[in-house]
Amino acid sequence: MSPYIYLDHAATTPMKKEVMEEMLPYFTEQYANPSAIYEFAVKSKDAMDTARKNIAATLGVKPQEIYFTSGGTESDNWAILKTAEALKTKGNHIITSKIEHHAVLHTLGYMESIGYEVTYLDVDKQGRINLKELEDAIRKETILITIMTANNEIGTIQPIRQIGRIAKERGVLFHTDGVQAYGHIPIFLPEYSVDLFSASGHKFYGPKGIGFLYVKENTPISSLLKGGGQERKLRAGTENVASIVGMGKAAKLVHQRLGYERMRETNLRNYFMNRILREINDVKINGSLKNRLCNNINLTFSGVEGEALLIMLDSEDICVATGSACNSKESTPSHVLLAIGLSEEEAYSTIRITIGETTQKKDLDQTVEALKLSVANLRKKS
Ligand code: PLP
């Protein structure tokens, strides 16, 4: 039993024991390189194919449209860099939103440095893009729209279906970063007109350092890495068989209980938010209440330093985040919170709580009590 109350599932999720058990033989017993052609190796390849099939089934797509990568960052980089390159004779314009993860924003920053033009769409107070602004931003040079399915800081879910429809009507490719959404909300890709979809194993109770990119058949894209001909010549490098097997198992398990778990987490989240709003003054919930991941709670406590609050909760063995996991060591205010209209001071007074499969009501009750004390103490000091 972990001594911690872990409330940072958007940063990473605990890997399930069943996932580890499924992976273990692929380290020391079934270790053959799946590219070899003897029977021993065919077993590794078959295990990868099963994982591919399991993942494809959860999204309603063909197994051969799933490509294994090292995680969400690689999937995002690959989707953007290599479709844009393949389409460079058609145009040089890409559309995104201001609240994307840095795996997308920093890739696009690089694209600008090599001559591409990028439009960064504003979002409203809830963190949603405006579809009319998206339509107006499309021009004849537009080759790609990349807008995340759900945000990692405030949990806001974008109107993916409508974005896909607009992209399809205008003949523009659509990539969505589904890293926070996959395994947390049902996603049936054929309904969404999505061409490319990124996901990451460690966000849905699988291993770290493994992910996948869905690439719709006939999408113009080339390999990001130069090397061998793995993954049908689109992703070079010996496959991480154990992690692929683990991710496939995690995908299956998380989807088996998705309906139940979403309901359970939504109830827990609402219970927690209501208690916080009732029992602590001057608190604000950020992001959409309607279009929101069931596990995300993002709170601004006015007059309280978010980092100081995190440290006080940490001393009670409660793990929360101040911004996104990937920029938690930086002390710049979150670009997502600024984009939804928070002041710098408010952004610095914000914490993110993300619950998961192991979170129980008693954990949240304990967290409310710890928050009440910590917020009162910090407000007294300021
Ligand atoms: N995209 C989003 C929305 C994320 O939240 C993250 C990680 O937090 C990533 C991409 C990067 O994924 P990975 O950690 O697998 O590289």
Average pLDDT over residues 158-187: 98
| Domain enclosing residue 342, as ranges | 5-13+258-381
- How far apart are alpha carbons 370 and 110 in whole angstroms? 43
Same domain, 114 and 236: yes
**Atom number in ligand 1 closest to CA 74:** 16
Same domain, 362 and 249: no
The pLDDT tens digits of the residues spanning 23-75 come to 999 999 999 999 999 999 999 999 999 999 999 999 999 999 999 999 999 99
**Atom number in ligand 1 closest to CA 12:** 8
Nearest C-alpha neighbor of 80 from the set 93, 89, 61, 63? 93
Within 10 angstroms of residue 198's Cβ, the number of other Cβ atoms is 31
Residues near 265 by beta carbon (within 8 Å), at least 6 away in sequence: 294, 295, 355, 356, 359
Backbone angles phi, psi at 349, to 5 degrees: -100, 25
Same domain, 220 and 335: no
What CATH number should be reported for the domain holding residue 298?
3.90.1150.10
Number of structural domains, the chain? Answer: 2
Nearest C-alpha neighbor of 327 from the set 153, 80, 154, 111? 153
Same domain, 313 and 199: no
What CATH number should be reported for the domain holding residue 131?
3.40.640.10
Which pTM value belongs to this model?
0.97
Same domain, 109 and 120: yes
Same domain, 338 and 266: yes
Torsion sign across C-alpha atoms 66, 70, 76, 77: negative
Q: Which residues are catalytic?
A: 326
Q: Is the pLDDT of residue 18 over 50?
A: yes
Tokens of 110: 């690089």
Burial of 253 (0-12, 13-18, 19+ CB in 10 A): buried
Give residue 326's pLDDT: 47
Same domain, 121 and 240: yes
Same domain, 98 and 197: yes
Same domain, 234 and 295: no
Same domain, 251 and 266: no
Which of 227, 256, 285 is where one domain is finished?
256
Which of 230, 256, 282 is where one domain is finished?
256
Same domain, 219 and 286: no
The pLDDT tens digits of the residues spanning 70-127 come to 999 999 999 999 999 999 999 999 999 999 999 999 999 999 999 999 999 999 999 9
Nearest C-alpha neighbor of 375 from the set 284, 288, 290, 267? 284
Ligand 1 and 103: CB distance under 6 A: yes
Q: Residue 278 is inside which H or E element, if any?
A: helix 258-279
Ligand 1 probe mutation, 68, 200, 213, most atoms within 8 A of CB: 200
Same domain, 359 and 238: no
Helix, strand, or coil (residue 359): coil
Which of 220, 235, 256 is where one domain is finished?
256
CA 315 to ligand 1 center in whole angstroms: 27
Residue with tokens 């940072």: 8
Percent of the chain with pLDDT over 70: 98
